[in-house]
Amino acid sequence: MLLWLLLLILAPGGGQSGVSPKAFLLLKPPWSTHFQKDRVTLTCRDFHFPAQGDISWYYNGMSLNKESEEIRIEKTGYYKCKTRRSSLSEPVYVEFSTDWLILQAPYPVFEGDKEVALRCRGREEASITEKTFYKDELKISSTSPFILNPVPRDNGKYHCTAKKRDWIIPSKETSKPLTIQLQGNG
């Protein structure tokens, strides 16, 4: 039900004749940042379920030789798709990181969403403690996951830190900054 609502919101002109609604990308798992070797699937949808035939995929503006509704991705970059009945989707930027600590935000996030969970993950999750979240360099929480409630329109840059347990010297790790990819509501 929620997905249908999202598709209707994204459809330019709300279904008026002569205007093709945009295709819509879904990430599984739904995070825009992953560790390398994580298994990530993109699904292309349009206003019909399932999207039917003639699906085109794009990576960093270049056409991919893929026509299925779902593709497995492994490279950092911008992904788009379209179907026979839709126009090109909004781009989604997916990052595959070699860092020790990453901050994950879900995709998609819409303006006006009531809440969004941010996750701070370590490559070796069992060896990290004391996760802390920051927005624009200011500490905002030590609760993990951190829930943004509501999602601000000008969301700033977020990052997290965590202490890494080590046999000799514990260290503090910091994730790269992340800006949440907001989708418009029409």
pLDDT tens-digit series, residues 62-88? 999 888 899 999 999 999 999 888 899
- Give whole-number Cα distances, 130 to 72, 104, 138, 141, 145, in Å: 33, 17, 16, 11, 12
Residue 134 C-alpha from the chain's centroid = 19
pTM of the model: 0.79
pLDDT tens-digit series, residues 87-139? 999 999 999 999 999 999 998 887 777 788 899 999 888 788 889 999 999 89
Amino acid 50: pLDDT: 61
pLDDT tens-digit series, residues 18-46? 567 889 899 999 999 999 989 999 999 88
Set out the domains of the chain in order of their start, with CATH numbers.
22-95 (2.60.40.10), 100-183 (2.60.40.10)
